[in-house]
Structure 1
Amino acid sequence: MALNAGKQRQRTGRDGIGIVEIMFAMALLLTVMTAALLFLDQIMSRFQTARDHYVAITVCQGRIERARAIPYSDLPLMAEDKQLVDDFGNPAPDGRFRRTTTVDVDMPSEGMTTMLVKTEICVCSRWGWRKRYHPLNRGPYVCRFEEENREQAQFMFTNLRGD
Structure 2
Amino acid sequence: MPFLRHARDKRGYETTFIMHSFRPAAGQANGRTRLLYMFRTPANRKVGRSLLDPEVMEALEHTHPDLTFDWVSLLRTPALTAPDPDRERSDRDRERDRDRGRQRRDERRERQSEARREAASAPVVPAPILEDDSLVGRTVGAAEAARLRAAFAELAQRIVRRSRTPEERDRLTERAARLNP
TM-score, with normalisation over the residues of structure 1? 0.28
The structure carrying a bigger helix percent of its residues is: 2
So what's the TM-score if we normalise by structure 2? Answer: 0.25
- In terms of fraction of residues, the more strand-rich structure is 1
**Higher RCO (CA 8 Å, separation ≥ 6 residues):** 1
Higher gyration radius (CA) = 2
